[in-house]
Chain A
Amino acid sequence: MKVLVPIKRVIDYNVKVRVKADNSGVDLANVKMAMNPFCEIAVEEAVRLKEKGVVTEIVAVSIGPKTAQEQLRTAMALGADRSILVETDEDVQPLGIAKALKAIVDEEKPELVILGKQAIDGDNNQTGQMLAALTGMPQGTFASEVNVADGKVKVTREIDGGLQTVELTLPAVVTTDLRLNEPRYASLPNIMKAKKKPLDTKTAADLGVDLTPRVTTVSVEAPAERQAGIIVGSVDELVEKLKNEAKVI
């Protein structure tokens, strides 16, 4: 079966972001970018399913600027067979992305779509669910285990109180949680091979979708700074401070 893996180019997770002085957003100039960590887990899961013989083809897709090609090449170096870039300079938001993905699902007809549970820039945690709603597919969000068998997929989900297992009829949408797997690294030969794999570029107009944002960002501010704390010398001093100064115990 065919798997579609949507991925996103985001700021590297180790970078400490800076808010622009004019409060219009976060400064992304000259900042290291990478594939969203949850998307790496999604690619890895697709590759593992292929290695198990469950999956025959993996198609990676990204919606964003031309530079997102780098992340699609990374996905192909990790094992995706080909990729599609829906190129746009618009500030894409989950609903628009989900609509573009639906158009691609309609074309490609994958039996499984695996996405990350959230992107670490917008922290929205919406796209997978929205895609599932638009395509009428069931969803297995926050997956920590995925088993495909007999036209169904069994997904163990990380929920607030522990774990929940659901069974979904294929085609289905799965979003990955951190503990689903440990993504592999791309080897140099695979990075070279990935350069030859096909990468199609489309536009939102090709897909007939409107990516106009519904939510506008009025301003972006740095969070309130915490007052500098103190280093105490002993447990006694700590207990004394907590009791008498902070009055929290």
Chain B
Amino acid sequence: MSVLVYAEHDNAALNKVTLSVVAAAKAIGGDITVLVAGKGCGAVAEEAAKIDGVSKVLCADNDAYEHQLAENVGDLVAEVAADYTHVLAAATTTGKNFAPRTAALLDVAQISEISDVVDADTFKRPIYAGNAIATVKSSDAKKVITVRGTSFDGVAAEGGSAAVESLDAAKNAGTSAFVGEELAKSDRPELTSAEIVISGGRGMGNGENFEILYKLADKLGAGVGASRAAVDAGFVPNDMQVGQTGKIVAPNLYVAVGISGAIQHLAGMKDSKVIVAINKDEEAPIFQVADYGLVADLFEAVPELDGKL
């Protein structure tokens, strides 16, 4: 068996989620190669070479891969995949974007967001917004898989000494072009890797009121998330959304403030170790999954909590 892991990065540094994907690759077994595709991504390749358990790093440094456009990356990975039995990518918006494209080019099914590896052909994955866990077996010769980062403990970022090989392959499909991007700036820990996450919902009332959550989050070194209701109401940007259609988080502590706990929100956070809910409606479904519930007005409870930490 031989596993190709697609590295998630921003051309400057490796995203930690890649360590979780390598962990999934280890569970499958066999030689692990990491593919770094980007522009000016040499430093990322060096970083990838140090990951524990990686035997080789392939670096495709080309203008065509700068913004990870699916048309170009999908083609590249499909070509590189020829030598591997498994192709793994993180279930991030990048991985979800190109992996199905690669799978279709290889004429194989893709298995999305695996949460566990049973054996080299069999995997577990959540379906129906996490309300059921399916064990699926692939009959394809080659497996293209995306990995739910929060379900695997990342391997050590140091300890490996893989050789870096550069790839000349430059695939530019020429049908798509990057126009621009607007990235939300935040000094707080990234949501999907934060140890503590504090999320606000419709109950926050408006965007300004999120300040009390930011203050509490900064004290705890926590990331701040939101429910879809809070995002749709324009309180916060959409990249803060936790849920079936947003980010999947599994921190040690998840604090849900003014969030009722719809099925779609629970799908994104119910694997958290400890869940705290602060809500004034004692009937709110969030209390059914909360380890500790506090029935109180959040505008009194949150500042009080902040003061007592």
Contact = CB atoms under 8 A, between A and B. Distances in A.
B309 to A, nearest CB: 7
B245 A177 contact: yes
A232 B294 contact: yes
Contacts of B173: 138
B196 A246 contact: no
B287 interface: yes
A17 B176 CA distance: 39
Contacts, number: 257
B239 A160 contact: yes
Interface in A127-170: 127-134, 136-142, 144, 154, 157-169
Contact of A248 (B96, B270, B274): B274
Interface in A185-221: 213-221
Contacts of A121: 127-128
Interface string B64-104: 00010111001000000000000000001110111111111
Given A161-B183, A215-B109, A230 B276 contact: no
A135 to B, nearest CB: 10
B237 interface: yes
A9 to B, nearest CB: 15
B299 interface: no
B109 A94 contact: yes
A165 B179 CA distance: 5
A241 interface: yes
Contacts of B98: 129
Contact of B139 (A123, A137, A214, A226): A214
A53 interface: no
Contact of B294 (A19, A238, A248, A249): A238
Contacts of A160: 92-94, 239, 247
Contacts of A131: 104
Contacts of A16: 131, 263
Q: Which of B102, B136, B220, B309 has the most CB of A within 10 A?
A: B136
B139 A158 contact: no
Contacts of B220: 249
A11 B111 CA distance: 21
B156 interface: no
Given A123-B112, A138-B173, A230-B292, A17 B184 contact: no
Nearest to A165: B179
Nearest to B135: A218
Interface in A96-136: 98, 117-118, 120-134, 136
B127 A139 contact: no
Contacts of B128: 11, 17, 26, 120-121, 123
Nearest to B231: A179
Given A26-B132, A160-B92, A162-B184, A167 B137 contact: no
B91 to A, nearest CB: 9
B218 interface: no
B177 interface: yes
B63 interface: no
Contact of B127 (A14, A136, A157, A220): A220
A166 B69 contact: yes
A162 B186 CA distance: 11
A246 B181 contact: no
B140 interface: yes
Interface in B279-303: 282, 287, 289-296, 301
Contacts of B245: 117-118, 177-178
A188 B108 CA distance: 43
Nearest to A157: B93
Given A93-B109, A217-B136, A246-B273, 18 more contacts: A118-B245, A121-B127, A126-B112, A129-B97, A138-B175, A140-B176, A159-B94, A160-B94, A177-B245, A215-B109, A218-B136, A220-B134, A222-B131, A223-B132, A229-B275, A230-B291, A235-B308, A249-B253
The 10 closest A-B pairs by CB, nearest first: A129-B100, A126-B100, A133-B104, A130-B104, A138-B175, A214-B109, A165-B179, A138-B176, A162-B183, A248-B253
Interface of A: 11, 13-14, 16-17, 19, 26, 93-95, 98, 117-118, 120-134, 136-142, 144, 154, 157-169, 172, 177-179, 213-223, 226-227, 229-232, 234-236, 238-239, 241-242, 246, 248-249
